[in-house]
Amino acid sequence: MTAEAATEAIAPPDIGPTVRSYPGARRPDRSRWVTTSGPRIAAYEWGDPDGPTIVMAHGGFDFAGTFDVLAPMLADGGGYRVVSWDARGHGNSEHTALYSWGADMRDAAAVLDAVSPVEPVVFFGHSKGGGIMFDLAHALPHRLTHMINLDGLPSKNNWPDLADHERTKMLRSELEGWLEHRARTATAERRPDTIEGLARRRQRMNPRLPLEWLEYLVTIGGEEVVDGDGASFGWRWKLDASLRFGGFGPWRPEWSMQRLPGIGVPVLGVLGLEPETMGWGTQPADVIPNAPPVFRFEALEGVGHFVHIEQPRLIADMVLSFLADHP
């Protein structure tokens, strides 16, 4: 059986009611599987299926459900068809043996081909998703009309300034950590907990986000663990346990920023200036010299890395006015 035939035999990605709610959050209106890049990728849509399309890429360790507040605002406020997907290994998408930037790009292109094979669309990305959409904009410049980037403008390494011998020791510890992690991934599983417990653990990485929102996310990006008799062991993130925050390799954050000046469509770039573990600490002075020809740039004081979750109304209005101003 081909992957596509096998996928047709299973239900579309879950967009059913959640056991927790959050003010303004709304599950997608439609969902489907995209299999053309290899793994089964869960794609979602909000709004008018015939409206102009915005394709949104989430950040690392997130999933499309993190747009459950912003996407409905764009769909309802601008008549847009808003599309997002769970990256491989995240949310409802298939866990794979390997993960890489190039593979994420290929999955993104597969989703783009599935939802709008001819008509160019609005590219939108948060954090790592912003970097993926930057690269996709250069690889497929005929496929986008606008680019929107939410706190996905990495500019420099977060490495502390260390003497060479200290840096050598630090790298050794990273290498050992990576290999230990790889050695464990054959059997690794995420630890179950209560909804509140998982939300509190995530709050360590997302300290500015309300617990109520994180609990809502658990009920989308997590699943209840039930034994054969139906007894619950709690909830567990669906995220593949082989994914690891802070992977290493030759990649340099400034390479992503170097994609910005060459983007030929109107670009909206937003920075959240409050420092956060998952953010890059990029400052306006890092961005402004890289401005593309048509650029609206917003640096938000008092807002952290998850700008669209902390300030969804502000971001939605900013996006809608940007798109209206650049028809």
d(CA 94, CA 6): 13
Residue 16 contacts other proteins per CB under 8 A: no
Secondary structure (DSSP) of 35-91: -TTSS-EEEEEES-TTSPEEEEE--TT--GGGGTTHHHHHHHHH--EEEEEPPTTST
Residue 288 contacts other proteins per CB under 8 A: no
Distances, alpha carbon 315 to alpha carbons 47, 48, 52, 96, 280, in Å: 18, 20, 18, 33, 19
d(CA 105, CA 133): 8
Site string for other proteins, 83-102 (x = CB under 8 A): -----x-----xxxxxxx-x
Burial class (CB in 10 A: 0-12, 13-18, 19+), 302: exposed
Nearest distance in Å: CB 248, other proteins? 7
- Residues 226-245, interacting with other proteins (CB under 8 A): 242
Nearest distance in Å: CB 61, other proteins? 17
Window contacting other proteins (CB under 8 A); options: 49-57, 148-156, 250-258, 269-277: 250-258
User: Binder to other proteins among 10, 11, 186, 285 (CB under 8 A)?
Assistant: 186
Contact predicate 271/299, CB 8 Å: yes
Nearest distance in Å: CB 264, other proteins? 13
- Residues 126-165, interacting with other proteins (CB under 8 A): 135-140
Smallest Cα–Cα separation from 224: which of 235, 240, 238?
A: 235
Residue 191 contacts other proteins per CB under 8 A: no
- Chain residues in the site for other proteins (CB under 8 A): 3, 37-39, 88, 94-100, 102-103, 105-107, 109, 135-140, 168, 171-172, 175-176, 178-179, 182-183, 185-186, 242, 247-252, 255, 259
